[in-house]
């Protein structure tokens, strides 16, 4: 077991995974024929003439998502209905036959470059329009389209694939040749991260509601992420069983109870993809979700060892709805207010605390009674190691209070301290005075702990 744990600490992200993690929050843009039909999944027979965003303004999209703090934008170049937002030479079902005519992928990529954010795309493998769907030739068609997108629009930071797979007209489900798709991406855009339900670089979190699991490990069994690189030997009980049931929707993925049975471990972090509205596409009857929902979703994703892919759908005119723009602005302002400037602190490791259970004393330069968050980060060059930790606060009268108990840390863990006792918060109880010292105790880790930062807000 000890040897296996040691191996697990060597399971590390690639350069492209680290670059992706640092993006933290980027915008998903669902736009296409569904925007005009009030559907979420188009049928594939929509007339191209439907698509007419008379006021399309990709600079406005970029401004809107930047206001929230998004670092990139991921456009649905093609959704399940098969309609292409670029004039692909392999199909007639695209913008080229719409009254709009122009290349929306090019316009979005240019707006991102101008606005200083990164550009990526979603190309749906499921295609309800293409006659080849359900045959091996469809994979050629798909690779041709992928090549157009990979070679014609500058640097791509991210390619997003889902595994949705319906039946074609022939009643056959397509067998997607993901290995081939991934090879093309590595050839033309080697630095781009690839999202797919099962890796290779980023995996689906398991829901579309922004709900996190309690412990989010980026080090997970290869049985789950079959496209990711195996970086360890088998778990100590691998010869006595397996993980045939493992799936993204499980409550535990990288837990010890699972990895012990794994044939090998991979590094494959989770993305939380969720929409600012109930639907992925814009619908006239829908409204943006509340500011507190957005903020909690941020804590549960960026603050919980994942990235947030926040969908913001343009309306029929081709602009982000003003209500959503306002919400994004409020959200960005709230993030700045809460996490703008950390309190100055002095941090030292308690002498004698062991490498897998280090304790850190965090002394505030000034005592405060309004502490709200501690943000912890592990150094990803050492993989992911921390299993559980706790934070206590110390007052001048030497009384101590538990403020937070957590499990995994990973890329970033935002620990909200605001209301630790729900209704009996000592931080608002002035009898103890302001806090002047905090203690972070790593209670358990899979190997010597390497934190990148500890910040107090
Ligand atoms: C899913 C699709 O079926 C939804 O329509 C949406 O695009 C979501 C982000 O991915 O697989």
pLDDT digits (tens, 9 = 90+) for 397-436: 778 888 999 999 999 999 998 544 455 555 555 556 788 8
- Among 283, 306, 338, the domain boundary falls at 338
Res 341: pLDDT: 95
Mutate to test the pocket of ligand 1, among 37, 39, 162 (most ligand atoms within 8 A of CB): 162
CATH of the domain at 52: 3.20.20.80
Residue 135: CB atoms within 10 A of its CB come to: 16
Domain identity same for 358 and 264: no
**How far is ligand 1, taken at its centre, from the CA of residue 446, in Å?**
36
Provide the domain limits for residue 390.
345-456
CATH of the domain at 397: 2.60.120.260
Atom of ligand 1 nearest to the CA of 275: 9
Domain identity same for 316 and 366: no
Spans of the chain, pLDDT less than 50: 419-421
Q: 449 is written with which tokens? A: 């702990």
Q: Is 40 in the pocket of ligand 1 (CB under 6 A)?
A: yes
Q: Is 126 in the pocket of ligand 1 (CB under 6 A)?
A: no
How many domains is the chain built from?
Answer: 2
Res 421: pLDDT: 45
pLDDT digits (tens, 9 = 90+) for 333-391: 999 999 999 999 999 999 999 899 999 999 999 998 889 999 999 999 999 999 999 99
- Among 338, 371, 390, the domain boundary falls at 338
Q: 221 with 253: CB under 8 angstroms?
A: yes
Residue percentage of the chain with pLDDT more than 70: 97
Res 273: pLDDT: 98
Domain identity same for 421 and 283: no
Domain identity same for 159 and 103: yes
CA distance 426 to 436: 13
- Among 338, 362, 380, the domain boundary falls at 338
Atom of ligand 1 nearest to the CA of 311: 9
Domain identity same for 263 and 368: no
Domain identity same for 191 and 278: yes
Residue 280: CB atoms within 10 A of its CB come to: 21
Res 299: pLDDT: 97
Domain identity same for 156 and 31: yes
Domain identity same for 178 and 283: yes
Which residue has the CA at smallest separation from atom 8 of ligand 1? 280
């Amino acid at each position: 077991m000890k040897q296996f744990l040691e191996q697990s600490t060597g399971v590390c992200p690639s350069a492209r995974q680290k670059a992706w993690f640092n993006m933290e929050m980027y915008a998903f843009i669902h736009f296409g024929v569904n925007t005009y039909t009030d559907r979420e999944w188009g049928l594939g027979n929509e007339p191209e003439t439907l698509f007419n965003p008379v006021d399309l303004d990709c600079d406005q999209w970029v401004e809107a998502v930047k206001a929230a703090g998004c670092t990139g934008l991921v456009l649905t170049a093609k959704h399940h209905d098969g309609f292409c937002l670029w004039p692909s030479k392999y199909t007639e079902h695209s913008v080229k036959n719409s009254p709009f005519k122009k290349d929306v992928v090019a316009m979005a990529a240019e707006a991102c470059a101008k606005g200083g954010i990164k550009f990526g795309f979603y190309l749906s493998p499921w295609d309800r329009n293409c006659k080849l769907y359900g045959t091996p030739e469809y994979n050629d068609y798909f690779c041709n389209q992928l090549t157009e997108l990979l070679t014609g629009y500058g640097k791509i930071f991210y390619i997003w694939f889902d595994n949705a797979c319906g039946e074609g007209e022939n009643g056959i489900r397509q067998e997607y040749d993901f290995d081939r798709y991934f090879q093309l991406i590595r050839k033309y855009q080697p630095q781009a991260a690839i999202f797919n339900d099962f890796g290779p670089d980023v995996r689906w979190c398991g829901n579309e509601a922004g709900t996190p699991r309690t412990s989010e490990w980026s080090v997970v069994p290869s049985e789950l992420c079959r496209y990711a690189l195996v970086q360890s030997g088998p778990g100590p009980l691998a010869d006595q069983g397996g993980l045939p049931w493992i799936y993204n929707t499980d409550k535990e993925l990288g837990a010890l109870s699972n990895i012990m049975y794994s044939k090998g471990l991979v590094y494959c972090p989770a993305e939380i993809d969720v929409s600012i509205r109930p639907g992925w596409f814009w619908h006239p009857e829908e409204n943006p979700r509340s500011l507190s929902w957005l903020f909690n979703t941020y804590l549960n994703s960026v603050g919980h060892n994942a990235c947030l892919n926040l969908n913001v759908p343009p309306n029929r005119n081709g602009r982000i709805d003003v209500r959503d723009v306002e919400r994004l602005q409020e959200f960005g302002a709230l993030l700045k207010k809460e996490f703008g400037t950390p309190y100055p602190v002095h941090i030292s490791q308690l002498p004698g605390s062991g490498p897998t259970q280090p304790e850190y004393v965090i002394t505030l330069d000034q005592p405060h009674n309004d502490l709200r968050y501690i943000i912890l980060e592990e150094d990803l060059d050492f993989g992911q190691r921390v299993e559980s930790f706790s934070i206590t606060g110390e007052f001048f009268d030497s009384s101590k209070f538990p403020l937070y108990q957590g499990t995994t840390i990973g890329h970033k863990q935002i620990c909200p301290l605001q209301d630790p006792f729900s209704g009996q918060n000592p931080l608002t109880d002035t009898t103890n005075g302001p806090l002047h010292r905090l203690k972070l105790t790593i209670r358990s880790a899979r190997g010597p702990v390497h934190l990148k930062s500890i910040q107090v807000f």
